[in-house]
Structure formats: C-alpha cells, structure tokens
C-alpha cells in the first residue's frame, strides 16, 4: 500500500533492531487441521502479523488427552506468544526420569541441567495444550473455523485451489497440511507416506489414583517378554499409563491405587515419514508428515517444531530448505524414539543385561546422569 510504512522489530534477531518496511498485504494462507501443529502455525503466523485461515473438520475442540509431554524446545517456541506461561502454570513439572526392571528401581535421573533453559518437561493433556493455543490465537484476533473439512485440493504455479465441505473453489497463496496421520492434503496430492505398521496392540489408561510416589517423574517399567509400561502424571492424582500390551493397568508392575478409570483404549502404531514436506505451494507438518511410537514423548513436539519453522519461513518468504530441514529433524526424532522403544522392549537377555549394567553405572557417574537428562529433554 503506497505511502504506508510498518515499523517492525525482527522477532528472530537476538539484537533488537527496527525495520521500516512498506506495509503489504500478507500472503493468503490456509491451515488445514487445528491440532497442536496447525494451532502453533496459526499462533506463530498471527504473532508475526500474518492472519491465516485455520479450519478443522471437528465440530468443536477436542477433549482427548493424547500427547502429554511438552519438551523444552516446545516451551521455547511457545514462549513469545504467552502460551508457555499458561502450560507451565497448568501442567505438572516432570523433574525426573526413572527406569524400573519389574518392581526394582534401576535408575532415577534428575533432569536439572539437562537443558540450558529448562530443568524439566511439562506434562499436560493435549486438549488443554490445544485450549491454551486457541486462547492465544484469540488474543491475536484469530479463531478456528470448526466443522470445516478440506475436501478438495489442487494447485498450479500461482495458487492453491481448495474446497471446504465440498463447497466452491477457494484460492490461497499457500496451504499447510496439518491434518494429522490420515492427512487429506497428503493423500489428495499423491504424496507417499512410507514406513511400517507395528504388529502389536498397545493400550492406554487415564486414571485417578492416590499415593503414587513418583508424581514428578516419567516412569518406564521394563517387563519380561519384551513388554513395557510407562506412567506419567496428567494432573494432581491423575495418571496416564501406556503399555505395548493389551492392558496397560494389568501390565504395570508397580502399585497404583486407582480410584476412577476415566478412559481406557487400545491402539496400534505406525512408523512413517514422508520424503518431501513440500509439493509446490503446499506444505506438510506434524503427524501429516511423520508418526512414530509414544516412546520418548516426541510426536506432538516435533509437529510444534515443524509448524514454528514453517511460520518463520512464511514470514521471511523463504521456503527453500523447509523440506530438507524438517525431514532431517523428523528422521532424527524417529530414530531416537525407535532406539528407546526397541531397547526397552527387547527380549534379548544380553540387551536386558546391558540396560541393568548401564543403569547401575549411570547411578554412580554424575556426568552420565547429565548426559541422560540432556537426551531426555533435548533429544
Ligand atoms: C495415545 C497417544 C499418546 C500420545 N502421547 C504423546 C506424548 O506423550 N507426547 C507427544 O509428543 N506425542 C504424543 N502422541 C502423539 C500426538 O498426539 C500427535 O503427534 C499430535 O497430536 C500430532 O499433532 P497434529 O496437530 O500434527 O495432528 P492431530 O493432533 O491429529 O491434528 C490434526 C487435526 O486435523 C483435523 N483434520 C483431519 N482431516 C482434516 C480435513 N480434511 N480438514 C480439516 N481438518 C482435518 C483433525 O480433526 C485434527 O484436529 C500421542 C498420541 C496418542 C494417540
């Protein structure tokens, strides 16, 4: 707009400096999917002065607890928008990570010093993380259009044409597919999602319980026959138990005094990643681009990181390298999660012996404890 200038501070520079730049109309952007990935992209774009349209096929916000662990990298990403303050206030501070062999504690690692900015990870049910993101989006004047499903997508070199709820053509400069593991954006553009589906059934239980002595710890129990169970706090006296068996509560070898069972279910796991996160003017992020087991609690965090990088690149109008950078980050996270899953669920007596010896050594050697804390918090 001729004659109008925008006074802005580069939000990515550590040295504060002011840029005087002509005020332009920002790109016309659609974000498909309002899970943690799409919401982070919408919040970050809005923070940078670009107002996207964000849609979700759900009628209303989710009430499912799904992802619990919020890692330091996500806390740093969501700090400038004020979301982190909310997450830290509402969530449980996970200050320890511990491994049991059956009922026997092998190692308890203090996470303090594992990350330069944070001595803990936050545990909070995913629906409450999404609520905090939706509230931040509102503060920037945005909102999610619920009940709006992306049903068609095609593109040429200048625009992306989208249909919502089988309605008329709508044109956008760029589209972000943050529409989860069964992404319509990905499938309609013919982008492959190579990988494997694990054969076993996993189980999950969200319960109220009393007298659990490890409220501020992420707890992993290795069991005979290559099975395992994880416990993490959701809030005061409420816990999530996950296992690679069909009954998480039955698999847990430690005493958990359950007073109420809120949600129990079973699920299967796929380990997949797209090769390309970009096709023309359309981009993928979050579970639409990668999925893996809950081991390490990284899935949601990886989506948040994808979204933040995509928003920054949109602001800077520089998408070169987005696909490669996110593919590398995704591959590293999947490798870490798979190492943990395979080690903890190994049936090999040698691997079990190595875990026991390593755990004993870690207990005795503080630098090794710090190294483990760094791996847990920082990847
Ligand atoms: C039991 C369980 C436990 C987990 N625990 C953890 C954990 O501890 N830590 C962790 O980091 N991760 C965990 N995860 C993984 C985590 O939940 C996902 O990685 C995360 O939800 C991915 O976010 P997303 O926004 O990419 O996708 P989603 O959360 O799946 O969001 C996608 C959104 O897109 C919408 N949508 C789909 N299709 C369309 C369409 N055509 N048009 C419009 N909207 C559409 C959906 O309604 C949905 O709201 C867990 C997952 C499960 C199932």
55 pocket-lining for ligand 1 (C-beta < 6 Å):
yes
The alpha carbon of 221 and the centre of ligand 1 are apart by a number of angstroms equal to: 26
Q: What is the pLDDT of residues 305-354, one digit of tens each?
A: 999 999 999 999 999 999 999 999 999 999 999 998 988 888 888 888 88
Rounded to an integer, what distance in angstroms lies between the CA atom of residue 345 and that of residue 123? 23
Atom number of ligand 1 nearest to Cα 204: 1
299 pocket-lining for ligand 1 (C-beta < 6 Å):
yes
Q: What is the pLDDT of residue 180?
A: 98
What is the secondary structure of 314-362 as a DSSP string? HHHT--TTHHHHHHHHHHHHHHHHHHHHHHHT---HHHHHHHHHHHHHH
The alpha carbon of 38 and the centre of ligand 1 are apart by a number of angstroms equal to: 10
Fold designation for 5-68+125-198+270-342: FAD/NAD(P)-binding domain (3.50.50)
The alpha carbon of 175 and the centre of ligand 1 are apart by a number of angstroms equal to: 18
The alpha carbon of 116 and the centre of ligand 1 are apart by a number of angstroms equal to: 28
Atom number of ligand 1 nearest to Cα 62: 49
The alpha carbon of 3 and the centre of ligand 1 are apart by a number of angstroms equal to: 44
- Taking CA atoms, 183 is separated from 33, 142, 295, in Å, by 9, 23, 23
Residue-level pLDDT, tens digit, the chain, 379 residues:
333 344 445 555 554 444 444 444 689 999 999 999 999 999 999 999 999 999 999 999 988 888 999 999 999 999 999 999 999 999 999 999 999 999 999 999 999 999 999 999 999 999 999 999 999 999 999 999 999 999 999 999 999 999 999 999 999 999 999 999 999 999 999 999 999 999 999 999 999 999 999 999 999 999 988 899 999 999 999 999 999 999 999 999 999 999 999 999 999 999 999 999 999 999 999 999 999 998 888 899 999 999 999 999 999 999 999 999 999 999 999 999 999 898 888 888 888 888 888 888 888 888 888 898 998 898 7
Rounded to an integer, what distance in angstroms lies between the CA atom of residue 247 and that of residue 251? 6
Rounded to an integer, what distance in angstroms lies between the CA atom of residue 162 and that of residue 53? 12
Q: Which residue has the tokens 């545990």?
A: 123
Cβ-based burial of 59 (10 A; exposed 0-12, middle 13-18, buried ≥19): exposed
In sequence order, the β-bridge partners of residue 105 are 100
Are the C-beta atoms of 62 and 126 separated by less than 8 Å? yes
Task: Give the residue extent of every domain in the chain.
Answer: 5-68+125-198+270-342, 202-269+345-378
Q: What is the pLDDT of residue 23?
A: 40
Q: Write the DSSP symbol of residue 166.
A: T
Ligand 1 mutation target, pool 299, 329, 377, 379, most atoms within 8 A of CB? 299
């Amino acid at each position: 707009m001729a004659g109008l200038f925008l006074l802005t501070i580069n939000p990515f520079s550590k040295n504060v400096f002011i840029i005087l730049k002509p005020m332009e109309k920002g790109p016309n952007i659609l974000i498909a999917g309002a899970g943690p990935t799409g919401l982070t992209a919408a919040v970050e774009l809005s923070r940078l002065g670009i107002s996207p349209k964000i849609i979700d096929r759900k009628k209303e916000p989710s009430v499912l607890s799904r992802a619990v662990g919020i890692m330091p990298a996500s806390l740093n990403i969501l700090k400038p928008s004020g979301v982190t303050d909310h997450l830290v206030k509402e969530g449980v501070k996970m200050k320890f990570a511990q491994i049991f062999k059956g009922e026997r504690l092998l190692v308890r690692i203090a996470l303090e010093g594992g990350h330069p900015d944070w001595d803990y990870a936050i545990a909070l049910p995913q629906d409450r993380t999404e609520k905090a993101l939706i509230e931040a989006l509102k503060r920037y004047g945005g909102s999610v259009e619920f009940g709006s499903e992306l049903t068609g997508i095609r593109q040429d070199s200048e625009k992306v044409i989208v249909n919502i709820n089988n309605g008329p053509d709508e044109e956008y400069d760029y589209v972000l597919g943050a529409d989860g593991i069964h992404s319509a954006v990905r499938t309609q553009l013919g982008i492959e999602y190579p990988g494997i589906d694990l054969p076993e059934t996993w189980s999950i239980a969200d319960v109220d319980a009393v007298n659990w002595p490890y409220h501020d710890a992420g707890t992993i129990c290795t069991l005979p026959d290559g099975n395992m169970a994880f416990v993490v706090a959701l809030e005061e006296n409420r816990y999530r138990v996950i296992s690679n068996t069909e009954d998480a509560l039955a698999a847990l070898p430690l005493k958990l005094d359950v007073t109420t069972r809120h949600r129990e279910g079973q699920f299967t796991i796929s380990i997949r990643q797209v090769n390309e996160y970009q096709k023309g003017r359309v981009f993928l992020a979050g579970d639409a681009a990668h999925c893996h087991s809950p081991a390490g609690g990284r899935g949601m965090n990886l989506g948040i990181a994808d979204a933040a990088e995509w928003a920054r690149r949109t602001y800077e109008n520089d998408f070169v390298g987005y696909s490669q950078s996110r593919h590398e980050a995704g591959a590293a996270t999947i490798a870490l999660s798979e190492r943990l899953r395979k080690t903890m669920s190994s049936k090999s007596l040698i691997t079990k012996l190595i875990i026991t010896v390593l755990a004993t050594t870690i207990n005795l050697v503080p630098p090794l404890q710090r190294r483990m804390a760094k791996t847990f918090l920082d990847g």
